[in-house]
């Protein structure tokens, strides 16, 4: 089982990266494979609304989106981490999620005529675990956190929470001081425990189902 973390902070070694890596470190101790992606050096343009993905099941815009999107499809759990800018997630993460959500939906569905209703078959992200993480100096996490949850739920994902909202408080006067938010660190560690628990439970269920299928085939 693999967990992929996408950090959208434009600051290297920033507070958002710190909290995200707290989660990854704990997951690694739980035996979960992890990967960290920073969007700092990634070129990801906004969705152009061209509808190319509807018929072709791929995004027409060629940039670093394809690389990140492929890793998202391969992951069992996705951490979406963003600092809070004016109450919102970063523009680069929003661009990534817009394109990923749109492309992922049309991989699994076909567009209907205006007079027809949809019976959605999920998306390319169906039943993946998604954990939102937002970080702000003082406030604004709630709306940004909600943006990430809305993306996860509309894409048929399973949202993972902690013993509090998955948020951190850091960065007064531009400081990189996430290590001082002891409560936030505890929240992230508990989040990792929940992710590991769910991944291991899913893996166990899949292994048991495979064993049952083998038995049934041998009996036939």
Residue 220 has pLDDT above 80, yes or no: no
Residue 212 has pLDDT above 80, yes or no: no
Confidence of residue 13 (pLDDT cuts 50, 70, 90): very high
Q: Which two tokens stand for residue 112?
A: 């209907």
Question: Which residue intervals of 89-176 are DSSP H helices?
Answer: 91-108, 141-154
pLDDT at residue 130, as a whole number: 98
- Nearest CA to 65 out of 146, 130, 6, 16 is that of 6
pLDDT at residue 211, as a whole number: 80
pLDDT at residue 16, as a whole number: 98
Confidence of residue 217 (pLDDT cuts 50, 70, 90): confident
pLDDT at residue 112, as a whole number: 83
Residue 153 has pLDDT above 80, yes or no: yes
Q: How many percent of the chain have pLDDT more than 90?
A: 86
- Nearest CA to 75 out of 145, 5, 146, 158 is that of 5
In whole angstroms, what is the distance from residue 156 CA to residue 11 CA? 31
Residues 157-189: tens digit of each pLDDT: 999 999 999 999 999 999 999 999 999 999 999
Residue 216 has pLDDT above 80, yes or no: no
Q: How many percent of the chain have pLDDT more than 70?
A: 100
* Superfamily of chain region 2-219: Flavodoxin domain (3.40.50.360)
The kind and range of the H/E element at 19 are helix 15-29
Q: CB of 81 within 8 A of CB of 131? A: no
Q: Parallel, antiparallel, or unpaired: how do β-strands 33-38 and 2-7 relate?
A: parallel
pLDDT at residue 215, as a whole number: 75
Positive or negative, the CA dihedral 28, 30, 33, 34 is negative
SS3 8: coil
CB atoms within 10 A of CB 141: 23
Give the residue extent of every domain in the chain.
2-219
Residues 97-142: tens digit of each pLDDT: 999 999 999 999 988 887 888 888 899 999 999 999 999 999 999 9
Positive or negative, the CA dihedral 120, 122, 123, 124 is negative
């Amino acid at each position: 089982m693999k967990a992929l973390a996408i950090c959208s902070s434009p600051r290297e070694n920033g507070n958002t990266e710190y909290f995200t890596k707290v989660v990854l470190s704990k997951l690694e101790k739980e035996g979960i494979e992890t990967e960290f992606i920073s969007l700092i050096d990634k070129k990801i343009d906004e969705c152009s609304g061209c509808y190319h993905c509807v018929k072709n099941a791929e995004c027409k815009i060629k940039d670093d989106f394809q690389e990140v999107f492929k890793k998202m499809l391969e992951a069992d759990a996705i951490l979406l981490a963003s600092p809070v800018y004016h109450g919102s997630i970063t523009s680069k993460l929003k661009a990534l999620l817009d394109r990923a959500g749109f492309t992922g939906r049309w991989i699994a569905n076909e567009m209907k005529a205006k007079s027809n209703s949809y019976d959605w078959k999920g998306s390319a992200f169906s039943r993946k675990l998604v954990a939102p993480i937002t970080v702000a100096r003082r406030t604004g996490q709630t709306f940004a956190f909600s943006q990430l949850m809305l993306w996860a739920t509309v894409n048929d994902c399973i949202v993972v929470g902690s013993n509090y909202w998955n948020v951190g408080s850091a960065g007064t006067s531009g400081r990189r001081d996430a290590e001082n938010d002891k409560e936030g660190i505890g929240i992230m560690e508990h989040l990792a425990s929940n992710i590991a628990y769910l991944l291991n439970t899913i893996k166990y269920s899949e292994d048991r189902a495979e064993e049952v299928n083998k038995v049934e085939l041998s009996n036939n």
